[in-house]
Structure 1
Amino acid sequence: MHIISLRDLSDSDLRAIVHRGAAFAADRTDHDEPLRGRIVGVYFSRTSTRTRTAFTTGALRLGAKVIAYGPGDLQTNTGETLQDTARVFGGMLDALVIRTAGSPDDMRTFAAHCGAVVNAMSADEHPTQALADLTTLQVHFGRVEDLRVVYVGEGNNTAAALALALPRFAGTHLDLRTPAGYGLDPALLAEAAALADRHGSRISERHDLTDLPQDADVVYTTRWQTTGTSKPDPDWRTVFAPFQVNAALMDTFPKAVFLHDLPAHRGEDVTADVLEGPRSIAFTQARHKLHSAMAVLEWCLPR
Structure 2
Amino acid sequence: MTERRHLISIDDLPDDQLRWIVQRGAEYSRGTAGADQPLSGAVVGVLSRKTSTRTRTAFSAGALRLGASLISYGPNDLQLATGESVEDTGAVLSGMLDVLVARTVGPESELRAYAAQKRMSVINAMSAVEHPTQALADLTTILRHFGRVEGVRVLYVGEGNNTASALTLALSRYPGAELHLRTPAGYGVEQRYLDQAAVSARRSGARVEQRHDVSDLPPVDVVYTTRWQTTGSTKPTPDWRTEFAPFQVNEALMAACPDAIFMHDLPAHRGEEVTAGVLDGPDSIAFAQAENKYHSARAVLEWCAADRPSGGAGL
SS at 2:263 equivalent: strand
CA contact (8 A) 2:27 2:33 kept: no
CA contact (8 A) 2:24 2:33 kept: no
* Aligned structure 1 segments of 4 or more residues deviating by more than 3 angstroms: none
What are the Cα deviations for residues 124-165 of structure 1, in whole angstroms up to 9, with x where unaligned? 100000000000000000000000000000000000000000
Amino acid across the alignment from 1:212: L
Shift of 1:88: 0.8
Query: In structure 1, which of residues 126, 135, 154 is the aligned counterpart of residue 131 of structure 2?
Result: 126
192-201 vs 1-10, greater mean Cα deviation: 192-201
Query: In structure 1, which of residues 94, 101, 105 is the aligned counterpart of residue 105 of structure 2?
Result: 101
What are the Cα deviations for residues 180-220 of structure 1, in whole angstroms up to 9, with x where unaligned? 0000111221221221111101000000011211x110000
Amino acid across the alignment from 2:179: L
Amino acid across the alignment from 1:122: S
Amino acid across the alignment from 1:259: M
Shift of 1:229: 2.8
| Residue of structure 2 in register with 1:64 after alignment | 68
CA contact (8 A) 1:46 1:228 kept: no
Query: In structure 1, which of residues 150, 171, 178 is the aligned counterpart of residue 183 of structure 2?
Result: 178
What are the Cα deviations for residues 71-103 of structure 1, in whole angstroms up to 9, with x where unaligned? 010112122222221111010000000001211
* Structure 1: distance between partners of 2:251 and 2:112: 43
Q: Does 1:30 align with 2:34?
A: yes
* Structure 1: distance between partners of 2:267 and 2:76: 23
| Residue of structure 1 in register with 2:312 after alignment | none
CA contact (8 A) 1:156 1:226 kept: no
Query: In structure 1, which of residues 41, 44, 49 is the aligned counterpart of residue 45 of structure 2?
Result: 41
| Residue of structure 2 in register with 1:263 after alignment | 267
113-122 vs 228-237, greater mean Cα deviation: 228-237
* Structure 2: distance between partners of 1:44 and 1:266: 26
SS at 1:219 equivalent: strand
SS at 1:264 equivalent: coil
**Are the structure 2 counterparts of residues 10 and 42 from structure 1 closer, same or farther at C-alpha, using a change threshold of 3 Å?**
same
CA contact (8 A) 1:101 1:228 kept: no
* Structure 1: distance between partners of 2:35 and 2:6: 21
Aligned-residue RMSD, C-alpha: 1.0
Query: In structure 2, which of residues 151, 157, 162 is the aligned counterpart of residue 157 of structure 1?
Result: 162
Amino acid across the alignment from 1:267: G
Query: In structure 1, which of residues 126, 141, 144 is the aligned counterpart of residue 146 of structure 2?
Result: 141
Shift of 1:34: 0.7
Size of the aligned set, in residue pairs, is: 302
Query: In structure 1, which of residues 200, 215, 232 is the aligned counterpart of residue 205 of structure 2?
Result: 200
SS at 2:95 equivalent: helix
Shift of 1:226: 2.9
| Residue of structure 1 in register with 2:6 after alignment | 2
CA contact (8 A) 2:102 2:125 kept: yes
* Structure 2: distance between partners of 1:259 and 1:133: 8
TM-score (norm 1): 0.98
Return 5+ residue gaps in structure 2 as ranges.
Answer: 308-315
Q: Does 1:273 align with 2:277?
A: yes
TM-score (norm 2): 0.94
SS at 2:172 equivalent: helix
Q: Does 1:299 align with 2:278?
A: no
Q: Does 1:54 align with 2:38?
A: no
Shift of 1:32: 1.1
CA contact (8 A) 2:172 2:200 kept: yes
Task: Give the share of equivalent positions with the same residue, in percent.
Answer: 63
* Structure 1: distance between partners of 2:291 and 2:23: 16
SS at 1:55 equivalent: helix
What are the Cα deviations for residues 240-268 of structure 1, in whole angstroms up to 9, with x where unaligned? 00000000000111110000000000000
Shift of 1:302: 2.3
* Structure 2: distance between partners of 1:135 and 1:7: 17
Amino acid across the alignment from 2:103: R
Query: In structure 2, which of residues 192, 195, 213 is the aligned counterpart of residue 190 of structure 1?
Result: 195
